[in-house]
C-alpha cells in the first residue's frame, strides 16, 4: 500500500524527527512511502493529486488543514483517499480531539493495524468565497485576537493567551443576527464560534463535548450582556471550563447563518478581511451573510490501532459516524 508523506519542516517539533526516519517507520509498518518536498502550494497540489491508498500528514494543525482541504475536494468528487495524522505542531487541536498520543514514529508504526474513521468537516460560504475548516470558524473576540497575533514572532500558547487578555479588556461586542437551524439567536456577543473539534487556536477548549463524528457543529456564544471578569475568562479558557460561565451558551446544529458587517472572521487559523480596508474589492465592503454548515463524514481518517473504538462498535474496516437524528438545534448542558 502506497503512503504519500507530507512533512512540514517548519512545524514546532520538526527537529525531533526527519522525513527519512518517517519513511523507514512506514516501510517497517508495511507501507510503500512516497516523499517529495512541498515548498509551494503548487507542489502540494501535485503531490496530493497523485496520491493513492493513503496520505500521511506530519505537522501541526495548519499542515493537516492544508492537506485535508485538498483531500476533501477529492472526496467530494468520489476520489477520496484516507488521511493519517502524525502531530508535530504547537497546539495540535485536531490530534488532541482524536486522542492521538505518542511520537510520530510510534504512531506511524501502528498505522498498519489501524482502522478508518469518518471525520466531519465544516464549510463556510462568505462574500469572499467558500472554504472548508476542520477546527472552527467564527467571529468576535478570537478572530480579532488572531488578527492581532503575528505568528512570525514565534508561536506559543502563552503569548497567544497574553494577546487574548489584552484584546478582551478593550473589545467592543458585536451585534449579530444568527439563525441556527431555523432558530433566531440575535444579540450582543463577545464571541460566536462554530466548532468541529473540542479546541481551536492556542488550545482554547471552547467545546469540550464536541465530536468530529456526530454530523453536528457546536455553536459557542459568549453574551456581552452578562460579561464576566477578564481574568475569569482567561482562567476558564486555560482550564477548559469556559462553558461553565453564565455568559456562555453552547448549542448544536447543522447550519448557522450570521450577518456579516465587515467584522473579522477566522477560518481555522486564518483571518479573513475586515470591511473598510482600502485594498478590498467592493464585494467585501458591503454587508452580507456567512453560512456555516457541516459536511458529515466528508473526510476519512486512518487512526493508529490503539486510538480507535472497539471493533464491535462498527463494521470492520469501514468509516463510522454516530450522527444523531434529533430535533435541532440542541442545547448542550454544562
Per-residue confidence band for 147, with pLDDT thresholds at 50, 70 and 90: confident
Boundary of a domain, candidates 57, 91, 112? 112
Work out the end-to-end distance of the chain between its first and last CA atoms, rounded to an integer number of angstroms.
Answer: 45
Residue 315 lies in a domain: no
- Indicate whether 321 belongs to any domain: no
Whether residues 142 and 165 fall in one domain: yes
A 10 A CB-CB count for 287 gives 10
Asked if 259 and 176 count as a contact pair (C-beta separation under 8 A), the reply is yes
Residues 135 and 268 in one domain: yes
CATH code of the domain containing 14: 3.40.50.10330
Asked if residue 256 and residue 220 are part of one domain, the reply reads: yes
Domain match, 69 and 144 both: no
Per-chain mean pLDDT for the chain: 86
- At 307 the pLDDT is 44
**DSSP sequence for 50-76:** S--SEEEEEE-HHHHHHHHHHHHHHHH
Cβ contact 184:261 at 8 Å: no
Range of the domain at 178: 124-294
Please say whether the beta carbons of 62 and 92 come within 8 A: no
If asked whether residues 215 and 161 sit together in one domain, one would say yes
Looking up cell 501541526, which residue turns up? 60
Q: Looking at 77-86, 139-148, 220-229, 271-280, which range is the least confident one?
A: 271-280
Selected residue with higher pLDDT from 320 and 43: 43
The answer to whether residue 54 sits within a structural domain is yes
Q: Please give the model's pTM, rounded to 2 decimal places.
A: 0.85
Considering the domain architecture, whether residues 259 and 285 belong to the same structural domain is answered as yes
CA distance 212 to 320: 11
* Lowest-confidence region among 39-43, 94-98, 303-307: 303-307
pLDDT computed for residue 333 by the predictor: 58
Whether residue 253 has pLDDT greater than 50: yes
Number of domains in the chain: 2
Report whether pLDDT(145) > 90: no
Same domain, 101 and 31: yes
Pairing type for strands 129-133 and 183-184 reads: unpaired
> Rounded to an integer, what distance in angstroms lies between the CA atom of residue 194 and that of residue 329?
13
pLDDT at 70: 98
Instruction: Name the pLDDT band for 163 (thresholds 50, 70, 90).
Output: confident
**CATH of residue 158:** 2.60.200.40
pLDDT digits (tens, 9 = 90+) for 58-73: 999 999 999 999 999 9
Q: What is the mean pLDDT of the segment spanning 79-98?
A: 95
Verify that 108 and 158 share a domain, yes or no. no
Domain assignment present for residue 331? The answer is no
* Residue 264 and residue 168 share a domain: yes
Please tell me which residue, 79 or 276, carries the higher pLDDT value.
Answer: 79
Q: Are residues 256 and 150 in the same domain?
A: yes
Q: How far apart are CA 204 and CA 120, in angstroms?
A: 20
> Would residue 333 count as lying in a domain?
no
pLDDT per position as a tens digit, 259-317: 999 999 999 999 997 544 445 454 555 689 999 999 999 999 999 997 444 444 444 44
* Cβ neighbours for 124, distance < 8 A, ≥ 6 positions apart: 130, 131, 133, 137, 265, 267, 290, 291, 292
Q: Does 183 fall in a domain?
A: yes
Amino acid at each position: 500500500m502506497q503512503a504519500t508523506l507530507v512533512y512540514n519542516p517548519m512545524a514546532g517539533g520538526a527537529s525531533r524527527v526527519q522525513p527519512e526516519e518517517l519513511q523507514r517507520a512506514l516501510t517497517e509498518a508495511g507501507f510503500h512511502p512516497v516523499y517529495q518536498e512541498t515548498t509551494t502550494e503548487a507542489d502540494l497540489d501535485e503531490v496530493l493529486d497523485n496520491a493513492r491508498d493513503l496520505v500521511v500528514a506530519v505537522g501541526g494543525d495548519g499542515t493537516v488543514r492544508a492537506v485535508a482541504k485538498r483531500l476533501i475536494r477529492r472526496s467530494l468528487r468520489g476520489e477520496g483517499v484516507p488521511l493519517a495524522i502524525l502531530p508535530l505542531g504547537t497546539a495540535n487541536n485536531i490530534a488532541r480531539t482524536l486522542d492521538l498520543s505518542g511520537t510520530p514514529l510510534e504512531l506511524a508504526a501502528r498505522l498498519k493495524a489501524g482502522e478508518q474513521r469518518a471525520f466531519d468537516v465544516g464549510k463556510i460560504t462568505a462574500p469572499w468565497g467558500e472554504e472548508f475548516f476542520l477546527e472552527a470558524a467564527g467571529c468576535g473576540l478570537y478572530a480579532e485576537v488572531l488578527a492581532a497575533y503575528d505568528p512570525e514572532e514565534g508561536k506559543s500558547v502563552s503569548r497567544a493567551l497574553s494577546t487574548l487578555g489584552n484584546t478582551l479588556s478593550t473589545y467592543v461586542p458585536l451585534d449579530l443576527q444568527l439563525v441556527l437551524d431555523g432558530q433566531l439567536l440575535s444579540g450582543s456577543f463577545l464571541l460566536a464560534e462554530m466548532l468541529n473539534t473540542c479546541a481551536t487556536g492556542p488550545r482554547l477548549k471552547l467545546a469540550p463535548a464536541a465530536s468530529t463524528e456526530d454530523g453536528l457543529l457546536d455553536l459557542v456564544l459568549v453574551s456581552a450582556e452578562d460579561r464576566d471578569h477578564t481574568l475569569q475568562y482567561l482562567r476558564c479558557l486555560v482550564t477548559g471550563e469556559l462553558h461553565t460561565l453564565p455568559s456562555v451558551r453552547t448549542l448544536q446544529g447543522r447550519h448557522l447563518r450570521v450577518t456579516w458587517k465587515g467584522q473579522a472572521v477566522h477560518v481555522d487559523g486564518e483571518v479573513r478581511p475586515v470591511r473598510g480596508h482600502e485594498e478590498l474589492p467592493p464585494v467585501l465592503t458591503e454587508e452580507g451573510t456567512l453560512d456555516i454548515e457541516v459536511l458529515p463524514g466528508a473526510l476519512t481518517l486512518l487512526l493508529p490501532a490503539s486510538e480507535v473504538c472497539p471493533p464491535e462498535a462498527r463494521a470492520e474496516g469501514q468509516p463510522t459516524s454516530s450522527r444523531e437524528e434529533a430535533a435541532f438545534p440542541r442545547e448542550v448542558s454544562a
